[in-house]
A = this chain, B = another copy of it.
């Protein structure tokens, strides 16, 4: 990748100029749904991000979950950096907790339920600990009432860990 990046850099501004209009055009034709209050969108490529930890949520939600983070997030976790730096993005994927069809004692992901996102931007989200929140169902943001609940809970329960519940599972 380093060689490839260098090649791109060496090619210089002409490449950048060629790429930017194409990206802007794609965004214009397929606008991304943003969460109420925070304007958080589903980040590109998050499904390939590194795992922070799995989790389980009991009934009534009854879910298996996995929290992944972008490179900034993972570096901060591994170095024990608190608060998380600006640019940190955490994504929680959730699925219905479902009996494995092949193995009696195992449970596995069923239908996908929500994708929930935290984005660190200490200036933009100064009023909510530096975090913006997004909760999506089938790619569509949940309503404003749901987004009004995010910050109060994170603030009340995990203020000592920069408002992040999930610990890195080694």
Which residues of A come within 8 Å of B, CB atoms?
A: 1-4, 7, 47-48, 50-51, 53-59, 61, 64-66, 68, 74, 93, 95, 97, 100, 102-103, 105-109, 112, 157-158, 165-167, 169-170
Contact B158 A55 (CB under 8 A): no
User: Which residue in chain B gives the minimum CB-CB distance to A53?
Assistant: B109
Q: Contacts A51-B51, A170-B112 given; indicate if A106 touches B66 (C-beta within 8 A).
A: no
Contact A108 B167 (CB under 8 A): yes
Q: Contacts A55-B106, A68-B51 given; indicate if A95 touches B169 (C-beta within 8 A).
A: yes
User: Which residue in chain B gives the minimum CB-CB distance to A157?
Assistant: B102
Number of copies: 2
10 of the cross-chain contacts (CB-CB < 8 Å) are A2-B4, A47-B50, A50-B50, A51-B66, A53-B109, A54-B65, A55-B64, A55-B106, A102-B165, A108-B169
Question: Which residue of B53, B61, B158, B167 is within 8 Å of A105 (Cβ)?
Answer: B61
User: Which residue in chain B gives the minimum CB-CB distance to A107?
Assistant: B56
Contact B55 A105 (CB under 8 A): no
Q: Once bound together, how far apart are the Cα atoms of A107 and B165, in whole Å?
A: 11
